[in-house]
Chains A and B, each alone.
Chain A
Amino acid sequence: MNNSKLETINYSLYYGNYRALKEINIKIPENKVTALIGPSGCGKSTFLRSFNRMNDLIAGVRTEGKVLIDGEDILKTDPVALRQNVGMVFQKPNPFPKSIFDNVAYGPRVTGLKDRQKLEEIVERSLRSAALWDEVKDNLGKSGLDLSGGQQQRLCIARALAVEPTVILMDEPAASLDPIATLKIEELIHELSVNYTIVIVTHNMQQAGRVSDYTAFFYTDETRTGQLVEFDDTKTIFTNPHDRRTEDYITGRFG
């Protein structure tokens, strides 16, 4: 495995007294796609949000152990600065009720960039990277809400890229999209992994198999506490899993 970009050490997370994640140890490699899979309620989305501290926004969340980015404890970085480095794409496309241009320029503007020409460069580059430029280049003033679902999601990816993050978290980014739009997003994820560390949560195992280099299988028992069962390169997880539970899940015996 290459250098690890993200790492957790004995990481546990509690909602009040209920433990949602138990002692998770993982090293997520740089500039690869890592898929988090597992049955509903196994805590994989919660785990994903740990990397950009979005769980901080939820009342009563408490954590133990460590989350490291580039070897540094994320609790020691400012959450706002952290989120500029760790972008996120949500399950439901959530463009702002603004123009396409203003959606993509939002991040750079928030970080203080005012120069119109620079903004235009960034918007074009980000939209190109998100494979949306050709479809919208003549309509940058149009509202982001007028785009189709798949376009909206690519707009959200462009919006995340514009801040120049090194990590992109994706929480079931294609869950609300039709098969063709899903395919486009998957191709995009593949292209982006050259330059970005991507962590993607997905319910769709075929998707995990198609897009990811590494796969982490999360599982939860009667206690409803999520734990990491197995983490390996995707091929191994899908063809030769070590753990019986992984095999059962992969072959569709539950979940």
Chain B
Amino acid sequence: MENRTSEIALIHKAQAQNLKKEKTRQDFWVAVMWLFGLITVSILVLVVGYILLEGVKAINWEFLTTSPKGGLSGEGGISTTIGTTFYLVSLTLLVATPLGVGAAIFLIEYAGEQSLSSKFLRSLIGVANFAVETLAGIPSIIFGLFGYALFVSTLKLGFSLLSAALAGACLVLPTIIRTTEEALLTVPDDYRRGSLALGATKWQTLYKVVLPASTPGIITGIILSVGRVISETAIFYVTLGGSYRMPTSVLDGGRTLALHLYYLAMDTRAFDKAMGTGAVLVVMIILINLLIDLVSRKLTTGVRKVR
């Protein structure tokens, strides 16, 4: 008995020593993580801050409301590029949203039961899923190249809003499909069963229960796509052309903000204007991210309530 007691005392002593060592070790690594975190945040703040501070000097009402002069001077404002960006975003999403949401609904809600009936369909759906996965990782210039080959030259749509929107739709399609799929998957099966058990058809179940419950997720996908279209350059460089004028039809070319920034930085000496354009772009992206944050917070509270 005596022996056992002293043995336990020894164990406790060793445990206390070890705990002290582990505490020191923990403090060290927490400090390291803090440092890494701070470095990352400072880099972000530095980039965004620099662009904003430099850009603000070029930004004034005139800059925002006059069109670029064109040519090598880089003089003028950015009004038409804001307009073009707006048109392109709208047109792209007009094409991509129904396609993407529809594809996701098919893949999640219908493909499963379809694939039971036939081996061919099953493999086709496998291919579709793989394609979505792969498309998401393809560099945007590839979509640009494809868009140039198909829409600009073969279909003779030229450098135009339409060509760019169709190529842009291909680019954002995987994003919309994936986010919609995620949203549909978070809808509990209890809802579907509950609705079907009340004598609703599958379609009624889908549009009365499942889609409303997944709307915040779908909207998140759409907003993400807006951000993507605003910030992409390469794909629109080869499909939208570079006209600095305001497009008056979908067959006119144009210049998005990001594209304008690219031209300013590469072809002109108007570096201050490039900074100004960059600042406008950064502000837009920040606003979009805030919007996503807001919508997805709504989504997660919805899910939490489900229990």
* Known A-B contacts A83-B199, A110-B208; A96 and B194 likewise in contact (beta carbons under 8 Å): yes
B57 → chain A closest CB, angstroms: 49
B294 at interface, CB cutoff 8 A: no
Which B residues touch A146, using CB under 8 A?
305
A156 at interface, CB cutoff 8 A: yes
Interchain CB contact under 8 A, B198 and A94: no
Interchain CB contact under 8 A, B198 and A83: yes
A193 at interface, CB cutoff 8 A: no
B139 at interface, CB cutoff 8 A: no
Of A30-38, A52-60, A179-187, A218-226, which stretch is located at the interface?
A52-60
Interchain CB contact under 8 A, A106 and B196: no
Interchain CB contact under 8 A, A90 and B196: no
Q: Mark A53-87, 1 if CB is under 8 A from B, else 0.
A: 01001011000000000000000000011111101
Interchain CB contact under 8 A, A160 and B198: yes
Interchain CB contact under 8 A, A96 and B204: no
A37 → chain B closest CB, angstroms: 22
B108 → chain A closest CB, angstroms: 15
Cα distance A57–B109 when bound, in Å?
12
Interchain CB contact under 8 A, B198 and A106: yes
Q: Which listed residue, B193, B209, B306, touches A90 by the CB 8 Å rule?
A: B193
Interchain CB contact under 8 A, B305 and A145: yes
Which B residues touch A92, using CB under 8 A?
190
Query: Which residue of chain A lies nearest to B116 when distances are taken between CB atoms in the complex?
Result: A59
Interchain CB contact under 8 A, B306 and A145: yes
Interchain CB contact under 8 A, A83 and B197: yes
A240 at interface, CB cutoff 8 A: no
Interchain CB contact under 8 A, B201 and A80: yes
Q: Mark B191-228, 1 if CB is under 8 A from A, else 0.
A: 10111111111001000110011000000000000000
Q: Which listed residue, A57, A97, A110, A145, touches B198 by the CB 8 Å rule?
A: A110
Cα distance A54–B195 when bound, in Å?
11
Interchain CB contact under 8 A, B200 and A110: yes
Interface centre among A94, A145, A146 (most CB of B within 10 A): A94
Interchain CB contact under 8 A, A143 and B305: yes
Query: Which residue of chain A lies nearest to B192 when distances are taken between CB atoms in the complex?
Result: A57
Which B residues touch A106, using CB under 8 A?
195, 198, 200, 208
Which A residues touch B209, using CB under 8 A?
96
Query: Which residue of chain B lies nearest to A145 when distances are taken between CB atoms in the complex?
Result: B305
B302 at interface, CB cutoff 8 A: yes
Cα distance A59–B306 when bound, in Å?
26
* Known A-B contacts A59-B116, A84-B199, A160-B198; A96 and B306 likewise in contact (beta carbons under 8 Å): no
Which parts of A82-111 form the interface with B (CB within 8 Å)? 82-85, 87-88, 90, 92, 94-98, 106-107, 109-111
Which A residues touch B212, using CB under 8 A?
97-98
Query: Which residue of chain A lies nearest to B200 when distances are taken between CB atoms in the complex?
Result: A110
* Known A-B contacts A106-B208, A143-B305; A97 and B199 likewise in contact (beta carbons under 8 Å): no
Cα distance A106–B207 when bound, in Å?
12
Which B residues touch A82, using CB under 8 A?
199
Cα distance A158–B201 when bound, in Å?
20
Which B residues touch A94, using CB under 8 A?
188, 190-191, 193-194
Interchain CB contact under 8 A, A97 and B306: yes
Which B residues touch A109, using CB under 8 A?
208
Interchain CB contact under 8 A, B198 and A87: yes
**Beyond the given A85-B199, A90-B193, A96-B209, could you list 16 further A-B residue pairs with CB under 8 A, ordered by the A residue number?**
A54-B197, A59-B112, A60-B116, A80-B199, A83-B198, A83-B199, A84-B198, A88-B197, A90-B190, A94-B190, A96-B195, A97-B302, A107-B198, A110-B195, A111-B199, A156-B194
| 24 sample A-B contacts, Cβ–Cβ < 8 Å, listed by A number | A54-B197, A59-B113, A80-B201, A83-B196, A83-B198, A84-B199, A90-B194, A92-B190, A94-B191, A94-B194, A96-B194, A96-B209, A97-B212, A97-B213, A97-B305, A98-B212, A106-B200, A106-B208, A110-B199, A111-B199, A143-B305, A145-B305, A145-B306, A163-B198
Binding site for A on B (CB under 8 A): 112-113, 116, 188, 190-191, 193-201, 204, 208-209, 212-213, 302, 305-307
